[in-house]
Amino acid sequence: MKKITIISISIIFLLILSSYLYLQSNQVAIEVEPVVEYKFVKMTINGRTDIESLNREKIEIPLQNFSIQEEAIINKNTTGQQVVGISYARGNVKIINHGDKDISLPVGTRILAEDGTAYLTVKEVEVPAKEINYFMDLTVGSQAGQAEVPVRAENKGSQGNLAPGKIKKFLPAKGNLSVINPAAISGGKDDVKNIVSKEDQSEAVEELKNKLKDQLLARAYQKLGGNYRFVEKDLVYQNYNYQFSKSVGEYASEYRISGSMELRGQLIRHNDLDRLVTYLAYQKYNQANKQVMPGINIESMQLAKSSDNSYNVILELVIPVLDEIDRFKLTYQLAGKVIKEAEDILSSHQEVATFSIPDNLQRLPWLPLAINVKLKEPGLKQTFKIE
């Protein structure tokens, strides 16, 4: 009796095993691709400058203060221009003495034109006294003493060129003397020279500032590499100092500005941020029967100071999430269905993006074990939700 029982059990086992192997070898494979939902999530974590390691329970992440200093030099061409005299206007004046005594004038005696332009005598001159005319011992008239002397404009340039008769007086006045230029005074010439203008310096200050900011930011990324993350808009550029090689109004065709600037901010280790964000995402979605996929993207990050050592780190995330597909339940729903019915059932599942049923079938097997629902790697079909 015992022997018959063992044989019966063995036969049943063999039958079951044979059926299983048959079903496995003849299973209908249906590929199902799940929908990827990209969740836009705003999340706030606590960043602290007084801790050194990540604390997932308190949702705290360490922040590190950093500072970088850079120097730069810019050479620029001047744009200011100024008219400069390059030669003196020259001519002669006639000095008239109405007095009774000869008068001697030294080199450099100043005389003025009507418009206030000053001229200087270039030679010493003696102007004779007036002459009295007599007839039969009687005074019948007088003639003022005269002398000509060369002069030049006090300053170089065309402003010293003068028409005849425009020089009128001495400075200071010389009593009985008067002066006039009987002919034109000419020869004064101008040139245009480059100078450093206020606009040149203002433009250079802004250009150097922007150059230093670019250098600091590039150096920060280079120095920190891929190990840290910082928020560009929360960086502080300070201690901007600069100096010029030329002053405003100085003659020059080019000039140089040099200076330095400091960059300060807070750093977050990429590894810490990725670990904390991934942990919080799994906490949020895996408990809701959703699967968080790799590739969480941090769209933006802002810092808001909350205390001396603490900042609110405000994150905007894109989290790829899959709804769980119950393959066991789906297999029973599909068992024995004609292909059109099976397609309708699969299409009704919102968590299913695409599916594939073998073309050579008219109906799916009646036994669920003969149907193998395979999950395909998610493709391009996506849905987007803001939370």
386: helix, strand or coil? strand
Rounded Cα–Cα distance for residues 59 and 45 (Å): 6
Query: Is the pTM higher than 0.75?
Result: no
Residue the block writes with tokens 């400091």: 262
Percent residues over pLDDT 90 in the chain: 52
On whether the CB atoms of residues 26 and 372 are closer than 8 A, the answer is no
Nearest by Cα to 70 from 201, 204, 228, 223? 223
Given this model, what pLDDT does residue 322 score?
84
Rounded Cα–Cα distance for residues 262 and 141 (Å): 88
53, two tokens: 């390691």
Given this model, what pLDDT does residue 81 score?
92
Given this model, what pLDDT does residue 24 score?
46
31, two tokens: 């590929």
Given this model, what pLDDT does residue 387 score?
47
Given this model, what pLDDT does residue 196 score?
95
Q: How far from each other are the two terminal CA atoms of the chain, in whole angstroms?
A: 69
Return the number of other C-beta atoms located less than 10 Å from residue 266's C-beta: 22
Dihedral sign for Cα atoms in the order 197, 203, 207, 208: positive
Rounded Cα–Cα distance for residues 279 and 43 (Å): 12
Return the number of other C-beta atoms located less than 10 Å from residue 93's C-beta: 21
Given this model, what pLDDT does residue 361 score?
84
Rounded Cα–Cα distance for residues 133 and 137 (Å): 9
Which regions of 36-188 does DSSP assign to beta strands (E)? 36-48, 60-62, 64-77, 80-87, 90-97, 103-105, 110-113, 118-121, 125-127, 131-135, 138-143, 145-153, 167-170, 177-180
Nearest by Cα to 177 from 92, 91, 90, 102? 102
Dihedral sign for Cα atoms in the order 11, 15, 16, 21: positive
Burial 13-26 (b: 16+ CB within 10 A, else e): eeeeeeeeeebeee
- In this structure, the dihedral spanned by the alpha carbons of residues 92, 93, 96 and 102, taken in order and rounded to 10 degrees, is -60
Q: Which regions in the chain score pLDDT beneath 50?
A: 17-25, 380-387
